[in-house]
Structure 1
Amino acid sequence: MTPTEMGLLVLSFVAGFGGGGPLLLAAAFTVLYGAGNGLATITRGTRPLALFDHREYGALAGRLLMAGFVVSAAALTAAAELARRYRRHTAS
């Protein structure tokens, strides 16, 4: 994560937890968090291209991103299972 990305994310949370009008802070949080997260997403996708050979970029990016995709899928499956079990225990 670059310093700019980190700075935008930190500023977003400062705005979100700071004082002042709730609507203004919510808007500031949304804009700053979106900008920081957007930069992080772009960097995550282009950094391997800048560091490695462009002919191997697709395979390398796929290997680097696969772990995140697997964890995301597993988290959704686990959340669905927890929700199913929680409903069963609260329905009785």
Structure 2
Amino acid sequence: MNSFVHKTLVVQLQAGDTDRFSVLAHLSYDAADPFAVTVVFSHDGRVLARWQLDREMLGDALRRPVGVGDVRMRPQARGMWQELRLEFL
């Protein structure tokens, strides 16, 4: 069994009501910290932000809105696409 899992995705970043632009999101899970998923957002080789998210909260957010305070997540339909919207305040 893998004790470390990593996936890189192209995601859309939106600040306020501005247009979206593409950035890379590097998601990783390490069994040494079983309750967290680390997300590193980067663009043009520069790290924009690094967040550690609660793994259970992330899974719940695929089905319903979760979170209070600085981190909120919710599923969102955009046309024919289903998205997971993450809000960092």
Same fold (TM over 0.5): no
Name the one with the larger helix percent: 1
What TM-score do you get using the length of structure 1 for normalisation? 0.23
Name the one with the larger strand percent: 2
Question: Which protein, 1 or 2, shows the higher relative CO under an 8 Å CA cutoff with sep ≥ 6?
Answer: 1
What TM-score do you get using the length of structure 2 for normalisation? 0.23
